[in-house]
Structure 1
């Protein structure tokens, strides 16, 4: 028999309407969408916004009041920053503002390309060496040999065997960064292959390639994505160092390293030649590192702030 709780309904004698029980569990507000994610992780928002602005600067460089970055004007050399030359001019009269904006293309292309190629190659090597026991000793000893050489020295040695170009710089830095990704992925795979669901897949007769693709690979993407951001920042620094010492991109290609290398002789009297490209490089590396730190906190369940 159902008893109505309406105020207008008449209750039989001896029946009382029970008061409404309080909520024992406080409702959790789940913020969905990209805006909610960025609100919960401001570090990702700040780093992503800075990086997006720099990407737009590189793409829209021809439309931001720039001139030909390779145009020589000896009569206007070493001009201080002014309304005509916002960042001044270098020893050959070239507009530093235009060269810095076009140089953003080189650094971003090198950083993103190295992060992509090194992550893909390191992922494949780490998956195989971490899951296939007999290949672990062979592959990782080779990776240890590469890691024993400082990345800059390895990149310089590889650049000495090739011509100076952006593609060769990307290749040289990628080879130097692959061991870092492969060792990270291998360490994750070593812990994943001992999980019960992997043992169940092996017992059910699932082939090794399918186990790697279905059970191992998805769990390695989060740490690898965070590592890729740090590799991107490191690649931009290494590219600038290579260009600064004359082992990177050709002098005809405007890059932040080349600009700083050309202005180091005049650093004490014309510091602005080095200051502006160095400031842009620092801001770009900072943006990528902030993005990586924010992604690490967002993708790590131990760093979660709440349900």
Structure 2
């Protein structure tokens, strides 16, 4: 009688008795990572949509000479207040000027004012906020000045500054920049006050690192994200303020084809010729919407607390 083979628990099983384990089911499918610019835009559709709209407006402003336009200042009294048609796409105003050409060229003025104010106010406000937030003895003096300026609404401060100078695009940029600087400096100051208490900043101070080096290496890089988002809102606000100043006659000269000037010239005929005001108002609204969407998307993308995916 053959004796049964007894296998010890540690002995390997014979080759013909080894059974492969079934594969584990995929509980979570693999994530297809999208990298590069296209991946970033895919994850942030608000930035993609707002950037596309803003890019379209920038292209319109840059290539205004090639978009079937005519001289926006050319007068033709015999063709005044013509309705929109195949010859005059947006109609003509009370002086016979082509509204389409004036609206297209008006994009240049609004975008120049918006971008210039955003860059200048962000740069100046960043410098003031860094100094005020990191140097304690200067904080009280600088912030009291900023508080005094913030107590005046930006539009009123811009009107007061424009009343002291003559109307021009440069003076409009300066007036709006001065009105926006306090808000930027306040934002940067708040960020710096929170950063200066971080351990790596205290360690740098304990090691004897000079203040300018600490600000440049440790403080400034951490203020780029909030200042970038704030710059987009300043850009949108500057375009609106410029249109308001031109609308009330305190901004760019009437000969300059800005959206505010076009709407100001057409308000007398609003009830009978509403297209004169309608088209520049639509372009202004689209541009401001594009900048605000871009700012909202940048805020969500740059703030880790607002991240949708981990």
- TM-score, normalised via structure 2 length: 0.92
Q: CA deviation at 1:30?
A: 3.0
Q: What is aligned with 1:100?
A: 103
Match among 51, 54, 58 for residue 55 of structure 1: 58
Deviations 1:49-88 (A, max 9, x none): 0000000001111101100000000000000000000000
Q: What is aligned with 1:149?
A: 152
Q: Which consecutive residues of structure 2, in runs of 5 or more, have no partner in the other structure?
A: 1-10
Distance 2:211 2:124 in 1: 19
Does residue 218 (structure 1) correspond to residue 216 (structure 2)? The answer is no
Deviations 1:19-61 (A, max 9, x none): 4885898754432111001111100000000000000001111
Q: CA deviation at 1:128?
A: 0.6
Find the residue that maps to 1:70 and give its secondary structure: coil
Does residue 292 (structure 1) correspond to residue 270 (structure 2)? The answer is no
Match among 247, 263, 272 for residue 244 of structure 1: 247
Q: CA deviation at 1:303?
A: 1.3
Q: CA deviation at 1:153?
A: 1.0
Match among 61, 77, 80 for residue 80 of structure 2: 77
Q: What is aligned with 2:135?
A: 132
Bigger CA radius of gyration: 2
Q: What is aligned with 1:194?
A: 197
Distance 1:74 1:140 in 2: 54
The more displaced of 156-165 and 22-31 is 22-31
Deviations 1:127-147 (A, max 9, x none): 110111111100000000110
Q: What is aligned with 2:45?
A: 42
Q: Which consecutive residues of structure 1, in runs of 5 or more, have no partner in the other structure?
A: 1-10
C-alpha distance 96-205 of structure 1, shift in aligned 2 (>3 A): same
Aligned Cα root-mean-square deviation (Å): 1.7
Find the residue that maps to 2:256 and give its secondary structure: coil
Q: What is aligned with 1:209?
A: 212
C-alpha distance 25-203 of structure 1, shift in aligned 2 (>3 A): farther
Q: CA deviation at 1:13?
A: 5.3
Does residue 160 (structure 1) correspond to residue 160 (structure 2)? The answer is no
